[in-house]
Amino acid sequence: MKNKLFQVMAAAILILVALLLMGGDRVRTIDNVANVENYNYKGNYDKEKAVPLKACDYSFWETVLLPGTGQLSGEIADFCVQGLAFTPDYLLLTAYALNAQENGGLYVYDRKTGAFLGKIPMRRGSHLGGIAYGGKNVWVCHSGERVLSRISYKALCGAVRQRTFSVEGFEEDYPLDDEPSCLTEENGRLFAATFRDKVESRMTAYRYDENRDRLVAENVYQIPPKVQGVAFDAAGNVWFSTSYGRKNSSFLLKYKALAAVGEEGVQPEAVVELPPCSEELAAQNGKLYIVFESACRKYKEGTDGRGKSRSPLDKILLLEKFSEI
C-alpha cells in the first residue's frame, strides 16, 4: 500500500514538473487581479494626487502569453518584454534576451484572439525597446545603438503567413540623434522617446522620407523622466507610461496636448498609479493596453541579485473608459 501511494505521489510530482518545464498557460503562479487590488499604493505623484489602478475599470488580456514569463511553450532563454504595437492584422511585442548570445525577438499574435503565431528573431545583443506600426512599415527601437530598424510590413505579413518567421533582407537601420527607448506613430510621424531616470527627457518627432529613404527630425519635446511608453488617444491626449525600479510604483500620465508637456508649471491632467515595471502602451478600440516587464524571470525571481519585483503582472493590462480618468 505504501509503495503504491509513493508511486502515485511520484507520478503527480513528475507531471507537475513537466507542466512547469513546458511553460504552458496551464500552470500559473501569478494572480494579476490580487496583485492589483493588494498593491501598496502611495497615492501621489510629484505632489499630484494619483488615482490607484484598483479604483479604475481594468481587466487583463488573458489569451496573450507574454515572452519571458514561462507561458510560451518551448521557450528556454530568458527574455524581457518591452514594446507593444497593433497593426491591422497583429499584436506585436518586442522582448530582449538577457543573455547577449541569444536573439531577442519580435513576437507576433493574432490581433483578435491574442493567439501566439510565432517569433521573428532580431539581432543578438540588442536591448529591443519600443515598436510602432506606420502603414507600410514596422519600426523597432535598438535602445543602446541610437538606431531604429524599419521592417517592411508586407514582408512581415508574408513571413507570418508562410510560417518562415524571418525578415532577413527586409530590415534596414536608420540613425537617430538620441537613444530610442520607446516609440509610437501618430499622423504619419514617429515619436521616439529617450529614457532618463532623474531629469526631464526628450522625445523627437521624425517623418520618414520615402523618396530619400531617411528619417527627418521635425520637432523635439521635453517630456517627464522615467518614460517607458507613449501613446496618443483618439481625442488627441498624450499618455506616458513611466516607471523605474522593480519595487517602485509606475505612473500613467495624461496630458491634453503634447506641446504643453514640457512647459514650466504644467502638470498632467490625470495620474494613475500602477504596480512596478510598466513598459510600452497603446490606445486601441477605446482602451489603453499596457505591458509590464515585472513577471519576467529577472524581476519576478530576482535572478540578477537585485531583489524581486513587487506585485508582478504577467498579462497585458487593459484600461477601460480611460478617457474618463
pLDDT tens track for 50-74:
999 999 999 999 999 999 999 998 8
Residues spanned by the domain of 21: 1-28
Rounded-to-integer distance, Cα 165 and Cα 181, Å = 25
Q: Give the CATH number for residue 194.
A: 2.120.10
108 DSSP assignment: E
68 and 212 share one domain:
yes
Our separate counts of H helices and E strands in the chain read: 4, 23
17 and 55 share one domain:
no
Place of cell 484598483: 54
> What pLDDT is stored for residue 48 in this prediction?
81
Strand (E) or helix (H) holding 223: strand 214-223
Instruction: Assign 244 to helix, strand or coil.
Output: coil
311 in Cβ contact with 35 (< 8 Å): yes
Burial 240-258 (b: 16+ CB within 10 A, else e): bbbbbbbeebbbbbbbeeb
17 and 155 share one domain:
no
58 and 7 share one domain:
no
> What pLDDT is stored for residue 28 in this prediction?
52
> What pLDDT is stored for residue 264 in this prediction?
76
Strand order in the sheet with 270-274: 51-52, 270-274, 250-255, 238-242, 227-232
57 and 134 share one domain:
yes
pLDDT above 50: residue 14: no
The more confident residue out of 99 and 250 is 250
Phi, psi of 38 (to 5 degrees): -100, 0
pLDDT tens readout for residues 136-184: 999 999 887 889 999 999 999 999 999 999 998 889 999 998 999 999 9
4 and 37 share one domain:
no
106 and 159 share one domain:
yes
Q: Whose CA is closest to 153, among 87, 231, 84, 85?
A: 87
The arithmetic mean of pLDDT across residues 4-13, rounded, is 44
pLDDT tens readout for residues 233-290: 999 999 999 999 999 999 999 999 888 887 877 889 999 999 999 999 999 999 999 9
293 DSSP assignment: S
17 DSSP assignment: H
Query: Contacts for 161-164 with beta carbons within 8 Å, 24 or more apart?
Result: 163/118
258 and 241 share one domain:
yes
> What pLDDT is stored for residue 76 in this prediction?
73
Count of the separate structural domains present in the chain: 2
Classify residue 49 as exposed, middle or buried by CB count within 10 Å of its CB (0-12, 13-18, 19+): exposed
Instruction: Assign 164 to helix, strand or coil.
Output: coil
37 and 178 share one domain:
yes
> What pLDDT is stored for residue 147 in this prediction?
93
The arithmetic mean of pLDDT across residues 79-94, rounded, is 97
139 in Cβ contact with 85 (< 8 Å): no
pLDDT above 50: residue 190: yes
269 in Cβ contact with 49 (< 8 Å): no
19 and 120 share one domain:
no
230 and 113 share one domain:
yes
35 and 78 share one domain:
yes
